[in-house]
Amino acid sequence: MNKEKRDRLYAVLCTVLTIVFISVMLFTVEKMPDLGRADNPDINEVMEFYVEEGPEETGALNAVTGMILHYRAFDTLGESCVLFVSAVCVFILLRIDGEASNDTLVAIDRRYEPTDDPILTQTFKLLVPAVFMFGIYITMNGHLSPGGGFSGGAIIGAALLLFLNAYGLEKTERFMSSQLYRRVTTMALCFYAVAKSYTFYTGANGLDSFEGAGTPGNILSAGLILPLNICVAVVVSMTIYSMYIMIRKGGFNK
Amino acid sequence: MTQLFTLLKISDGLAIQFGADGLGRMFLCLDTVMWILVGIYAFKYKEHMKHTKRFFAFYLLTYLMLAALSMAANYLTMYLCFEFMTLLSMPMVLQDGTPESIAAARKYLMYSIFGATLGLLGFFFSAHYGAGTVFTPGGLLDPAKVAGNESKLLVVAFLSIAGFSAKAGMFPLHAWLPTAHPVAPAPASAVLSGVITKAGVLCILRVMYQVYGASFLAGTWVQKALIVLSLITVFMGSMMAYGEDLLKRRLAYSTVSQVSYVLFGVFTLHPVALLGALLHVIYHSIIKDGLFLGAGAVIFTNHKEYVSQLHGMGKRMPVTFGCFTVCSLGLIGIPPFAGFLSKWYLAAGSLSEGLPVLSWLGPAVLLLSALLTAGYLLPISIHGFFPGEGEKEAEGKEAPFQMLFPMLVLALGVVVFGVFAQPLADALLRIAEAMF
Amino acid sequence: MSVFFANLPEYAAMILFGIGLSNLMLAKNLVKKIIGLNIMDTSVYLFLAAKGYVENSVAPIVSASDLGHIEHTLYTNPVPAGLVLTGIVVSVSVTAVLLSLIVRLNEEFHTLDIDEIIHILRKRDREDLK
Amino acid sequence: MSLVQNVPAFSILLLMLCGIVCLVLPRRAARHLADCAIALVAAASVALLVYFLQGGAAYTYSMGEIGAPFGNELRAGMLEAAVATLFSIVTLLSLMGGRAHLRSDIGRLKVNLYYISTLFLLCSMLALVYTNDIFTAYVFVEINTITACGIVMSKEDGYTLAASMRYFIMSLIGSGLFLISICILYAVTGHLLMSNIQEAVAQLYAQGEYRAPLQVAIALMGVGLSLKSALWPFSSWLPDAHSSASASSSAMLSGLVLKSFIFLMIKIFYRVIGAGIVRTHAVLDLLLVFGILGMVMGSVNALFERDIKRLLAYSSVGQIGYIFCGVGLGTPAGVAAAMVQVAVHATTKAMLFCAAGGLMDASGGSKKFRDIEGAGRRDPYAGVAFIVGTLSMIGIPFFGGFITKLSLVQAAVTVGGWRNLLSILAIIVSTILTAIYYINVLAIIFRAPETAPTKASEKLKEEWKKQVRLDTEYEVAIVLFILLNLAIGLRSDQLMQIITTGLSMFG
């Protein structure tokens, strides 16, 4: 059975498999609880607790952020680790260490830098401060308004890339060096892990923790949630920037 | 099994336990005597061999495992010793290191491991369906557990017995014997065919009589199939040996057929036939070791491996060929010598067993194969002593005395056990009765 | 008829999942496989978001004033929203690793077809054996 | 809550912390930190196991002070503690065993990245073992997949990159299906914690509501996780990935990563859905049939291999078939047999992969059979390791393999019917095939140089003559592996007792 026949058979098999899969799933979804009805199984005491007692207990008006960073914090710690580990994998793959001379970089055309088109650089220079401010606002008010560490971090990451394209590699690398990346990411994640293991330990063993809720509504009201939001934002933005620089240049600074 | 010695106990189901019963003691004596005689022979034969230290190390380790096997008190210990005896006896086959010997050793290992795995399957089932684990005459299967699924157990019984018979060279799994013997050094092949095949027979005896129990297997398709297989081997072994020119391969084929004599006696599940089988175990060990040591002596002194080269060798090597002839007569079953009594009991036991066709077909095949045995053994002696005028007589000198002494002892044994067989037969009859 | 349209977003999600799955299995080009993967994951998040929706309700962000007496039926379910957030981060990181793998594979084999890459590797094996 | 009950959370968070800190440490410091962290976690798991052996009951450890149905939870029992101990010890030994290969395979500056991936791999495996919340399980399944690819990719040659791409795509299909089944279960029951879901599912089954979504969710869960743990039809990626990675990575991949997904599947079948409901479901028969096919096909493929690591990888596919056969039988005895095989295969296969690394060192770094002739004599540690591995695989009593076969056959016999017949047939066939190709390997690595009709090139001949300098860490690791194997073989009764009581506590 030569190659084409095998590929055709594989293609036919896959399409048939997918069609069967879609039909089975449509059949099951049809049997599932209807959309939006108030008495669905998932509108139960868990959801009620998160929406009603959540804000008082955690001080976060945004119930989703309260749930993510206080009740299901172990999940979100896993989340940040997923980001961290994927950054490590990208380093393993793309980072060119030390001895790679300039011509290898040119050979893989990783020295490519867009010619600085005046219109773009001027608009970027106008946009960069606004985007930074917006990102920081989203992160800081994560527990009071929609947003939080992940979305704020993504916006700050995007702002960093804008800065890189506006001011070019040399200026960016003056402050975005490899040491900075490693130290800041490690500090943020270590703070996150240590803070959360403290709350896990005290919670599980029934000790009372200092984490007060403060008066819900103003910035410092949500105990640990604000610092954790900042850490998550730092990790997310750093990861986005490092992945971009790895694919583009294979390293932080040469 | 009177009192048990537990070497290692993991749980009630898994333990290494040893206990001496009649059967075990008989096999232990047989192994020990054979090992001493062949050992004396090997001390002289080792001048032809490289790596002699390695050979004797594995020679003794195999003896250790054989002794442990005969003393094993439960299925697990027996399987463990059987497996290690295979692994330790394999280096003796590849002693010369030639590519053929490596191929033969690998074939030997593959057949034995295949057989042992089937035996392992038997252990799993006996562990699950058995009342206890120690060998008990009449079988250790718990009737309550066995009630529903006899057919399943019969299949497993057939597979495990067929597995162990791989070592005893029964028909479907016999191919390793004719390839292993020509390449192995003479003492190794003497021990391999004389005693190690009997280990397979011992395992089959234990499994048939002391795990499943004679009553469980009597009259079933398993017994009939096994008897048919053994008869095929008996006939096929003698036919193949008849046409074989390489002396050691001829003797290997004769081993295949003679051990199946024993298996035929074991499978008929009748005390007298079992007595015949046990007697034949002893007689065949003595005779086959004598034959192989004779063949080894011929190879050692005059480097002649083919039967056609031995015309007139009897005059040059009178003692060797004398013992060779005595052993051949014993194997054929001529009355005053050892072989006759065992074949007699085998035939008597099979006839009184009453299985429809097989009870008379068995003795007929045995008789026919006895004639064939005469056909492939006597010409060696006849041409050896009375070569025709025409052919050129082979030159050569007699083997050294250290090699002749074991052959003489064995030949003497064939005569003694032939004539004064009654005490031996009574002892073995008691063992045979105790098995049911 | 209303029953059919009751779960419209879930139907869309399942069909999208099927499309993503088939794309992931059938596409020759690796980048297309990654696109298929993203379609698959996004469809799951659509399914989750649809599960959290409660008719005429608002996002679960309470105002400071009515902290004491919150009526949970007015708000949508926050749990699926949290799961979607986590899921999106997982998809982002997995896609990043896959894309960097594709960059390295392209540098090494100069092709984006995984079957061709395997073919090249098998040829390398055969040369070593000779 | 005594101190030792914090061990599950402590070990996961400690590994996470050390993994994060390794980013800033240089190569040597990262190595020492990784070793100490894993050793500490191993010791803590042993302490937890002793706590349970002295009669401690299974307990749930809620992360943060919230009650049951709300926050995240871990659940620890005797079985989880035993599996965690096994995973951490085997990871430590694999790292030690493959240390020489780490220096040669991985770029000097990237070794600390390798240690980060290993630490997070073990952290995610322990999280999968302990977690009582299915969405946390999904998150750590993803970490597991990414880090497993990380340790394969760190060797950075053409084979590993292609292999990890195929592995990644196959795994992502698996986790996509797993995520869909989690969403369906959540939509139907409204809970994410395993014990709460079980109550809701039992109640739904009683009322007969949402029967179709539950059935589909169970089926997707089974297919998704078996896809990730290389059950036979989905295992085309396994031989490339495990044979091209460096010695310690393939040891960890083959020994542990596949097992963590299987343990998660057992946990979901028996704690999320409940034993009664799962036994009536057809997915168990599906797993049984594919497990049986895997046992046979894995061994058949391994027969024709001419490369030591690909042979071991194909034999892993066969051994995984044993585990799925045990799970597929559905009875507690079947699951116990599967867990015994998890323990035995983890130690044996990891040892064999480290020994294969030693063989490659002794024969100029080549994996081909014709180059490693007589390597067993040049590197006696690898030789003895392969002997012990072969004896265990053949099923010699008082070795690991024998205990697996014994417990699996006894589980199959109690089930009876076609399942019993097929699984016993498969066990016998796969044992014989395994015996054949392992004896083949022994014959090759112990062939005396002068008798071997080698086709090896001249350059290789002096390579063989050169005395092999083995580093002590590799020797210590192999010796400890052998002792671990013998311990499992000889203490099998206690292992079986731990597993059965663990399973009874499991529900």
Residues 383-442 of D with CB under 8 A from A: none
Q: Do chains B and A touch (3 or more CB pairs under 8 A)?
A: no
Interface contact D110-A206, CB threshold 8 A:
no
pLDDT of residue A101: 53
Say how far apart CA D426 and CA D328 lie, in whole Å. Answer: 14
> Tens of pLDDT along chain C (130 residues)?
455 667 788 899 999 999 999 999 899 899 999 999 999 999 999 999 988 888 888 888 888 777 777 777 788 888 899 999 999 999 999 999 999 999 989 988 888 998 899 899 888 888 877 6
Q: In whole angstroms, how far apart are CA A174 and each of A99, A127, A153, A241?
A: 22, 21, 21, 14
- Write down the mean pLDDT value for chain D: 88
pLDDT of residue B354: 72
| Tokens of residue D59, six digits | 């307990």
- Name the residue among D209, D218, D208, D227 with its Cα closest to residue D184: D218
Report pLDDT digits (tens) over B85-137. 999 998 888 888 788 888 898 899 889 989 999 999 889 888 888 888 888 88
Q: How many CB pairs under 8 A join A and C?
A: 161
Lowest mean pLDDT among B66-80, B301-315, D131-145, D473-487: B301-315
A247 touches chain C (CB under 8 A): yes
Q: How many CB pairs under 8 A join C and D?
A: 83
Interface contact A82-C90, CB threshold 8 A:
yes
For an interface test with C, give the residue of A24, A37, A47, A105 to mutate (most C CBs within 10 A).
Answer: A47
| Chain C neighbors of D306, CB-CB under 8 A | 129
Over residues B393-416, the mean pLDDT reads 85
The total number of structural domains that make up chain A: 1
Any chains having at least 3 CB pairs less than 8 A from chain D are: A, B, C
| Tokens of residue B106, six digits | 């690998």
Cβ neighbours around D445 below 10 Å, total = 26
Report pLDDT digits (tens) over D139-166. 999 999 999 999 999 888 888 999 999 9
Interface of D with C (CB under 8 A): 135, 139, 142, 145-146, 149, 153, 156, 158-159, 161-162, 164-166, 168-169, 172-173, 176, 179-180, 183, 186-187, 192, 240, 306, 368
| Residue B71 near residue B2 (C-beta atoms within 8 A) | no
Over residues B297-321, the mean pLDDT reads 84
Residues 95-124 of D with CB under 8 A from A: 107-110, 113-114, 116-117, 120, 123
| Chain A neighbors of D154, CB-CB under 8 A | 92
Flag whether C64 is in a domain. Answer: no
Range of the domain at A175: 33-249
For an interface test with A, give the residue of C3, C31, C70 to mutate (most A CBs within 10 A).
Answer: C70
Q: How many CB pairs under 8 A join A and D?
A: 175
Report pLDDT digits (tens) over D334-366. 999 999 999 999 999 999 999 999 888 888 778
Say how far apart CA D141 and CA D123 lie, in whole Å. Answer: 11
pLDDT of residue C1: 46
Lowest mean pLDDT among B24-38, D231-245, D454-468: D454-468
Residues 199-228 of A with CB under 8 A from D: 199-206, 209
3-state SS, residue B8: strand
3-state SS, residue D358: helix
Interface contact C98-D183, CB threshold 8 A:
no
Range of the domain at C96: 2-56+77-129
pLDDT of residue B316: 82
- The owner of tokens 């999280």 is D127
| Residue D242 near residue D160 (C-beta atoms within 8 A) | no
Flag whether A91 is in a domain. Answer: yes
Q: Is the dihedral of CA D158, D163, D168, D169 positive or negative?
A: positive
| Chain A neighbors of D117, CB-CB under 8 A | 85, 88-89, 92
Would you say residue D83 has pLDDT above 70? yes
Please report which confidence band the pLDDT of residue D426 belongs to, taking 50, 70 and 90 as the band edges.
Answer: very high
Flag whether A25 is in a domain. Answer: no
- Name the residue among C66, C5, C8, C12 with its Cα closest to residue C42: C12
Over residues D194-208, the mean pLDDT reads 89
CB neighbour list of residue D150: distance below 8 Å, 6 or more residues apart? A85, A88, A89, A92, D113, D114, D116, D117, D121
> Tens of pLDDT along chain A (254 residues)?
677 888 889 899 999 999 999 999 998 888 888 777 777 777 788 888 888 888 888 888 888 888 888 888 899 999 999 999 999 999 998 887 765 555 565 555 555 566 667 888 888 888 999 999 999 999 988 888 888 889 999 999 999 998 888 887 778 888 888 888 999 999 999 999 999 888 888 877 777 766 666 666 677 777 788 889 999 999 999 999 999 888 887 777 65
For an interface test with D, give the residue of A35, A92, A228 to mutate (most D CBs within 10 A).
Answer: A92
Q: In whole angstroms, how far apart are CA A122 and each of A126, A133, A158?
A: 6, 18, 17
Would you say residue D15 has pLDDT above 70? yes
Nearest-Cα distance to chain B for D490, in Å, is 7
Please report which confidence band the pLDDT of residue D51 belongs to, taking 50, 70 and 90 as the band edges.
Answer: very high
**CATH number of C43's domain:** 1.10.287.3510
* C-alpha A249 chain-centroid distance: 22
Say how far apart CA D296 and CA D155 lie, in whole Å. Answer: 31
Interface contact C78-A46, CB threshold 8 A:
no
- Name the residue among B277, B246, B261 with its Cα closest to residue B372: B261
Half-sphere exposure of B373 (CA within 13 A, CB side): 31
Nearest-Cα distance to chain D for C65, in Å, is 25
| Chain D neighbors of B8, CB-CB under 8 A | 398, 490
Over residues B376-380, the mean pLDDT reads 88
pLDDT of residue D61: 85
Flag whether C72 is in a domain. Answer: no
- Bridge partners, residue A62, by sequence: C61
The total number of structural domains that make up chain C: 1
Q: What is the DSSP letter of B218?
A: T
Q: In whole angstroms, how far apart are CA D403 and each of B14, B77, B170, D488?
A: 10, 15, 30, 9
Nearest-Cα distance to chain A for D369, in Å, is 29
| Chain D neighbors of C78, CB-CB under 8 A | none
* C-alpha B42 chain-centroid distance: 20
Over residues D433-438, the mean pLDDT reads 91
Half-sphere exposure of B166 (CA within 13 A, CB side): 23
